[in-house]
Chains A and B, each alone.
Chain A
Amino acid sequence: MIISLTVNGEVRDVAVEPHYLLSDVLRDRLDLTATHVGCEQGICGACTVLVDGQPARACLLFAVQMEGHAVTTLEGGAPSVELRALRAAFHTHHAQQCGFCTPGILMTFAAYLRDHPDCDEAGVRAVLGGNLCRCTGYGPIVRAIMAASAALREVADV
């Protein structure tokens, strides 16, 4: 069957079978390889994308379900202000080690910081529990997210 997927603001027609996972269709059919596939069981969070603006595991969705919904991956044409702040802070704080988990973390927190502008570190750590970093470098990641959050508040205050 051919479905129309809205990915990063662009409508893409793609031939799929109903049992194709969104994560596979993004990577293998649409060449959007920023969405990483780790456990394929919803545990690791590497494949997290935004569906209608909210984080979701791409490996726990069938591509066919996404007709009529907006999917955003890390490649997203116009990155949100949250995503830009996170990227800058990850760079400054060396929050990226091997980089495998990074896309999922960036997508998760792009939504979380947007919806929780006054978040604290405990809240950030609780949410980060949904994204596994095999390098175990959570310290810099937490610091980067907190820095991005602070930077966003500064922008909002101006």
Chain B
Amino acid sequence: MKPAPFSYHRLQTVAELVGLKARLGDAAVILAGGQSLVPMLTLRLSRPEHVIDVNDIVEMDHILPEQDGLRIGALVRHQHVAESAVVATHLPLLRRMAGGIGNYAVRQRGTIGGSLVLADPAAHMPLAALLFDARLVLRSARGVRTAAYRDLYRSPLNCALDAGEVVVSVCFPRQPEAMRAVAEMFHVTAGSFPALICAVRLVADAQGGLAGLTIVVAAGAVRPPVMEGMFDDLRGVRPDAALRGEVVRRVVAHMGGLIGQDAAGRYLLSVLEGRMAMCLAGAAGDTKEGAGA
């Protein structure tokens, strides 16, 4: 199949984009990297009247270290994140996850803003944004606002932007010194979406006990859950093998309730059990990036 006809708009500035989006509303889709949108148009899963090409909007293509964190423009390509020395310094895990997206050619085009708005439940960037509690900077004709991605991401493929809103950039909060983040990505075939991603963000206190633990798991086409409060009773405990075993048990039980216990679900849970243990060991150990991909 081929895409259905549409009107094409190529814009140069965010101001133009906000104005046109306000005028066209839901009749228009925004074309950034197009690595997911164009297949959807080709399969005619989407038949918009208007396509707004934002690839020329250079003001959305930047990676800036700021006082309170790392700001990444919505148009920044995955390969740019994967090769960025700034990202490597501030959020090495984000850099590694960007390098695991799709394949080399796809990473040259695909953008962080597009991936976050699409909110594919198996995708890398949404999971990273959930793990680090990133905030999106949103512009519309009504002005600018920021919103936590955890609040916007309601369900798979549903990033709840308000009418006429566009994502301009994403801000990853500055991380404490004693933070270690590790992720495991389980691919069945190279280049495909991973069947499973699990990610751990661990903050240690001065005595080496747990000061904070966040775990996000993408598996089974559900909105990746952010697991945080369920570890509150473990604060101050050293993340030794026994404690890590307890965390793995809780995570596997929680995910089991979400993705079901049929044959596919049981298989994913068995993989999760092993990978989760690797992530936690990496986050509790000395390596900043932990175990391999």
Residue with the greatest number of chain A CB neighbours at <10 A, chosen from B3, B4, B5, B108: B108
The docked-state distance in angstroms from the alpha carbon of A61 to that of B35 is 9
A108 interface residue (CB < 8 Å to B): yes
Contacting A at CB under 8 A, from B12-63, are: 31, 34-35, 38-39, 41-43, 51, 53, 55
A54 touches B103 (CB 8 A): no
Smallest Cβ distance from A71 to chain B, in angstroms? 13
Knowing A62-B8, A126-B190 are in contact, say whether A42-B2 is a contact too (CB < 8 A).
Answer: no
B2 touches A21 (CB 8 A): yes
Beta-carbon nearest neighbor of A69 in chain B: B55
Chain B residues positioned under 8 Å from A18 (CB to CB): 5-8, 51
A61 touches B104 (CB 8 A): no
A60 touches B38 (CB 8 A): yes
Beta-carbon nearest neighbor of B77 in chain A: A54
Chain B residues positioned under 8 Å from A136 (CB to CB): none
A41-81, CB under 8 A of B: which get 1 and which 0?
A: 11101001001001111011110110000000000000000
The docked-state distance in angstroms from the alpha carbon of A61 to that of B51 is 12
A42 touches B7 (CB 8 A): no
B102 interface residue (CB < 8 Å to A): yes
A130 touches B105 (CB 8 A): yes
A19 touches B105 (CB 8 A): no
Chain B residues positioned under 8 Å from A45 (CB to CB): 103, 105
A48 touches B105 (CB 8 A): yes
The docked-state distance in angstroms from the alpha carbon of A62 to that of B37 is 12
Contact size class for A?
A: 20 to 34
B38 touches A42 (CB 8 A): yes
B109 interface residue (CB < 8 Å to A): yes
Selected contact of B104 from candidates A19, A43, A55, A59, CB within 8 Å: A55
Beta-carbon nearest neighbor of A64 in chain B: B8
Contacting A at CB under 8 A, from B100-115, are: 102-106, 108-109
Smallest Cβ distance from B4 to chain A, in angstroms? 7
A17 interface residue (CB < 8 Å to B): yes
The docked-state distance in angstroms from the alpha carbon of A61 to that of B105 is 12
Selected contact of A41 from candidates B7, B31, B43, B108, CB within 8 Å: B43
A61 touches B34 (CB 8 A): yes
B191 interface residue (CB < 8 Å to A): yes
The docked-state distance in angstroms from the alpha carbon of A95 to that of B53 is 38
Beta-carbon nearest neighbor of A17 in chain B: B5
Knowing A18-B5, A21-B3, A65-B55 are in contact, say whether A56-B39 is a contact too (CB < 8 A).
Answer: no
Knowing A41-B39, A60-B38, A61-B38 are in contact, say whether A127-B104 is a contact too (CB < 8 A).
Answer: yes
A-B contact pairs, 30 of them (CB 8 A): A18-B5, A18-B6, A19-B5, A19-B6, A21-B42, A40-B1, A41-B39, A41-B42, A41-B43, A42-B35, A42-B38, A42-B106, A45-B103, A54-B79, A55-B105, A57-B105, A59-B38, A59-B42, A60-B38, A64-B8, A64-B10, A65-B31, A65-B53, A65-B55, A112-B104, A129-B190, A129-B191, A130-B103, A130-B105, A130-B106
In the complex, given contacts A56-B105, A65-B55, A129-B191, what are 20 additional A-B residue pairs having Cβ atoms less than 8 angstroms apart?
A: A19-B4, A19-B5, A21-B42, A41-B39, A41-B42, A41-B43, A42-B39, A54-B108, A55-B105, A60-B34, A60-B35, A60-B38, A60-B39, A62-B31, A62-B51, A64-B8, A108-B104, A112-B104, A129-B189, A130-B105
Q: Which 6 pairs between the two chains have the least Cβ-Cβ distance?
A: A130-B103, A129-B190, A18-B8, A55-B105, A19-B3, A60-B38
